[in-house]
Amino acid sequence: QKEVEQNSGPLSVPEGAIASLNCTYSDRGSQSFFWYRQYSGKSPELIMFIYSNGDKEDGRFTAQLNKASQYVSLLIRDSQPSDSATYLCAVLKGGGADKLIFGTGTRLQVFP
Amino acid sequence: GAVVSQHPSWVICKSGTSVKIECRSLDFQATTMFWYRQFPKQSLMLMATSNEGSKATYEQGVEKDKFLINHASLTLSTLTVTSAHPEDSSFYICSAPSLQSTDTQYFGPGTRLTVL
């Protein structure tokens, strides 16, 4: 079992729709969760982080965390073609290891 | 947010040569930096943790004698790929923790290495 799992996609949504990206993790000791966006040929850029169960909203982005189910998601409202990228879920490994473990990413395509 | 730079942004070299990649924190000090490698269509894999003034900590399966890391100052870490081979061709990315929250890492723009 991979430590962080994501569906590789591509996830195709029309412009203006809500894109829902999902991620599961295996280490119950993990406390910090991150979503990064990576355009082709570029390095990842941080979109959001979430530490507590529930929802966290920032503009068009909402991160959702359910530690009991070991599940974290990212919702993108009013999706734009410029949102087309690979979205990486990352989990800070528990136990004081201080290491970010990345999923393989979900490729999102927003079509006009 | 914090700014991390890398140099060079891309490099092409012949098999057997060594390549040095620099990672700089531009507006903050970083006692710790991380080096990742990303092969095409794969995720980022942590290679090593660079610690200022001490030896780097390498992940399992990463050869420390092949990937030399030097973190000589609070703003600079270097990764040297020694005797590079075509299978070392990859996208190398460094990151540094945010001062506000060490959980959060800011990534450099990456260095694309192609070994012929």
Residues of A in contact with B112 (CB under 8 A): 41
Q: What would the two tokens of residue B58 be?
A: 């390498």
Q: Per-residue pLDDT tens, chain B, 116 aa: give them.
A: 568 999 999 999 999 999 999 999 988 888 899 999 999 888 899 999 998 888 999 999 999 999 999 998 999 999 999 999 999 999 999 999 877 766 788 899 999 999 99
Helix (H, G, I), strand (E, B) or coil at A63: strand
Contacts 24+ apart (CB under 8 A), A13-17: A13/A79, A13/A108, A13/A109, A13/A110, A13/A111, A14/A79, A14/A110, A14/A111, A14/A112, A15/A79, A15/A80, A15/A81, A15/A110, A15/A111, A15/A112, A16/A78, A16/A79, A17/A79, A17/A110
Residue A77 touches partner B, C-beta closer than 8 Å: no
Residues in A closer than 8 angstroms to B108, CB to CB, are 43
Tell me the chain A residues in contact with residue B91 when contact means C-beta distances shorter than 8 Å: 43
b (16+ CB within 10 A) / e for B37-62: bbeeeebbbbbbbbebeeebbbeeeb
Q: What is the DSSP string of B23-67?
A: EEESSS--SEEEEEEE-TTS--EEEEEEETTS--EEPTT--TTTE
Q: Which residue of A32, A45, A104 is in closest CB contact with B43? A: A104
Q: Tokens for B111?
A: 């260095």
Percentage of chain B modeled with pLDDT above 90: 72
pLDDT tens figures, A30-79: 889 999 999 999 999 999 999 999 999 999 999 999 999 999 999 999 99
